[in-house]
Amino acid sequence: MTQYFIHQAEAVFGFERPVSIRLRDGIIADLGEDLAATDQDMVIDASQCVVYPGFVNTHHHLAQAILKGIPAGLNQGLGEWLVSVPYQFWPHITPDLMYIAAKLGLYEQLRSGVTSCADHHYLYHAATTPELEEAVWQAAQDLGVRFVLCRGGATAQGSHKGMKGSTIQPESLSLALTRMEKSYQQHHDDSALSMKRLVVAPTSLVHTSPAEDLKAFAQWAKVRGLKRHSHLLEVGFDEQIAQQKFAMRAIDYAAHCDWLGDDVWFAHLVKADEYAIQRLAQTGTGIAHCPTSNCRLGSGIAPAIAMEQAGMKITLGVDGSASSENASMLQELNLAWLLHRSQAGPEATKIEQVIRWGSENGADLLGLKTGQLAQGYAADLVIYSLDSLRYAGVHSRLQGPVLCAEPAKIAYSFINGKLVVEQGKVLGVDEAKLQQEVNEACDDLISRAMTH
Ligand SMILES: [Zn+2]
């Protein structure tokens, strides 16, 4: 395995002065101001570059990479958008289409600085074939992304009208558990430097499974030491349904189903009030904050600052390209930095803080030894080049990539010590070929959806 030596960066995140970094056997082997290259090292010239830990995207939906800008959903909020976009199309996504969507979605993330992706894959129904999920694992492996598959799905027809109005037959609990057991045996690796993890992730906590099934999922996950994930409180509808159906607050319902804890994180939590924030913080429950998607669907702004002050771990997610068409983790950091300032003033967020949300916090939440530029951590890092007119005039060099956001200019990106992006090119993707495959996939998907 090639041993890399990153030399003479302008700035390195987490360090007062630039350090050189040696990557060996998949980990950051050495860091230091006085470190010198050896004959075994492949030297990477990082002059006019800054080095960040690779970003950890804690909430995505790769299938949505071929559902960008569906016209009917352009001006709809979550409830209607779910009907027009994901629920209309996903039953028609075949394993071949899924592989192409996953490859595109992972490409988008790699080119914006992601090295670890937690994908909330929910395309399961009674007659799903295992190949659909295998396509996702395979794409992650082919692109060399550190990958966490959050296994979604529904075990009830549910209260979302998108699901109710579709032809999707939910899985039974026993079928879901049997299928998950196979994925767990085949793919899950619980080592700290794991490239493949399984997470138990019923699609929407309030809507897609009854309480007894949620308790069974919790138990199943705990026995195997797996983490858990779901959507919660993205819009006010969760609170409304929890009160109507269960006569309790949504957050209390989560507690009632044994779905709060330091092994759990929820996407969105836009409508978490002070009471919910306290319960989440006290139990160590985390959040995947997805600001672009929340803006796009008009859902609101998650109270991330209040959450962090209460002790919650804030992490960032892109949330799939159908409600976040730029599909850029760098934009999520930039927007997270801006959005909370618009509400709470110019000291509400710092660039360093949102970089931590997007890297170290995400890794901690997923239990992965990555997200930090430190000895013994996974060799997952991104080297942004500032050597172009685009960054001319930027005084805060370390902060430059987040300040200026897209388009990113990545010189090199490493995952597990392997080079995955070089001079902006995602290795392992033939761009022209993938573009053609995506175009054909979109045509195929539309024709399938029209004829069913
Ligand atoms: Zn989502």
CA of 294 to the centre of ligand 1 (A): 10
| Arithmetic mean of pLDDT, 328-333 | 97
- Measured in Å, residue 212 CA sits from the centre of ligand 1 at 23
Rounded to 10°, the helix 130-143/95-110 angle is 30
Give me the number of domains the chain comprises.
2
Spatial separation of the C-alpha atoms in residues 181 and 174, rounded to whole Å: 10
**Does residue 157 share a domain with residue 87?**
yes
Which pLDDT value is given to residue 260?
98
- pLDDT band of residue 187 (cuts 50, 70, 90) is very high
| pLDDT, averaged across the chain | 96
Q: How far is the CA of 65 from the centre of ligand 1 (A)?
A: 13
298-311 pLDDT, tens digit each = 999 999 999 999 99
- Which domain covers residue 219, as residue numbers? 58-366
| Same domain membership, residue 85 and residue 21 | no
* Alpha carbons 246 and 225: distance in angstroms, whole number: 29
Query: Cα(185)–Cα(111) distance, rounded to whole angstroms?
Result: 31
439 assigned to some structural domain: no
Work out the pLDDT band at 168, boundaries 50, 70, 90: confident
Ligand 1 centre distance from Cα of residue 231 (Å)? 6
Same domain membership, residue 402 and residue 272: no
Query: Does residue 157 share a domain with residue 84?
Result: yes
Task: Please give the distance, rounded to the nearest whole angstrom, from the Cα atom of residue 47 to the centre of ligand 1.
Answer: 38
Residues 10-59: pLDDT tens digits? 999 999 999 999 999 999 999 999 999 999 999 999 999 999 999 999 99
Asked if 62 contacts 101 with a C-beta cutoff of 8 angstroms, the reply is yes
My answer on whether 269 and 376 are in the same domain is: no
Are 277 and 374 part of one and the same domain?
A: no
Per the domain annotation, does 448 fall within a domain? no
How far is ligand 1, taken at its centre, from the CA of residue 284, in Å?
21
Q: Residue 167: is its pLDDT beyond 90?
A: no
Strands (E) in 257-297, as ranges, are: 264-268, 286-289
Q: What percent of the chain has pLDDT over 90?
A: 93
SS3 199: strand
Q: How far is the CA of 67 from the centre of ligand 1 (A)?
A: 14
Query: Is 184 found in the same domain as 252?
Result: yes
CA of 60 to the centre of ligand 1 (A): 6
C-alpha of residue 58 to centroid of ligand 1, in Å = 10
Is residue 170 in a domain? yes
- Cα of 199 from ligand 1 centre, angstroms: 15
- What are the backbone angles phi and psi of residue 80, rounded to the nearest 5°? -75, -40
Asked if the structure places residue 40 within a domain, the reply is: yes
Burial 415-432 (b: 16+ CB within 10 A, else e): bbbbbbbeeeebebbeee
- Same-domain status, 236 and 328: yes
| In a shared domain, residues 260 and 384 | no
Q: How far, in Å, from the CA of 143 to the mean position of ligand 1?
A: 22
Higher pLDDT: 302 or 166? It is 302
318, 340, 366 — which closes off a domain?
A: 366
Residue 11 Cα, ligand 1 centroid: separation in angstroms? Answer: 34
User: Is 439 strand, coil or helix?
Assistant: helix
Indicate whether 112 and 203 sit together in one domain: yes
CA of 340 to the centre of ligand 1 (A): 21
Report how far ligand 1's centroid is from the alpha carbon of 268 (Å).
8
Q: For residue 438, what pLDDT is reported?
A: 98
185 alpha carbon – ligand 1 mean position (Å) = 26
Domain co-membership, 361 together with 413: no
Q: Which amino acid is at 326?
A: N
Average pLDDT of span 273-295: 98
Ligand 1 centre and the CA of 341: distance in Å? 24
- Cα of 95 vs centre of ligand 1, distance in Å, is 20
CA–centroid distance, residue 329 to ligand 1 (Å): 14
Given a cut of 90, is residue 159 above it in pLDDT? Answer: no
The alpha carbon of 204 and the centre of ligand 1 are apart by a number of angstroms equal to 9
CATH of the domain at 167: 3.20.20.140
In a domain, 168, yes or no: yes
Residue 447: inside a domain, yes or no? no
Residue 190 lies in a domain: yes
Distance 43 CA to ligand 1 centre (A): 40
Q: Which CATH number covers residue 386?
A: 2.30.40.10
Residues 330 and 406 placed together within one structural domain of the fold: no
Q: Is residue 33 part of a domain?
A: yes
What's the 9 CA to ligand 1 centre distance in angstroms? 36
Q: What is the pLDDT of residues 214-255, one digit of tens each?
A: 999 999 999 999 999 999 999 999 999 999 999 999 999 999
pLDDT higher than threshold 80 for residue 160: no
Q: Report the separation in Å between the CA atom of 264 and the middle of ligand 1, taken as the mean of its atom positions.
A: 15
User: How many whole angstroms from 359 Cα to the centroid of ligand 1?
Assistant: 19
How many angstroms is it from 41 CA to the middle of ligand 1? 41
pLDDT tens column, 349-390: 999 999 999 999 999 999 999 999 999 999 999 999 999 999
Provide the token pair at 328.
């850029």
C-alpha 234 – ligand 1 centre gap (Å): 9
> Ligand 1 centroid vs 38 CA: distance in angstroms?
46
**Residue 452: is its pLDDT beyond 70?**
no
pTM above 0.95, yes or no: yes
Question: 291: CA distance to ligand 1 center in Å?
Answer: 11
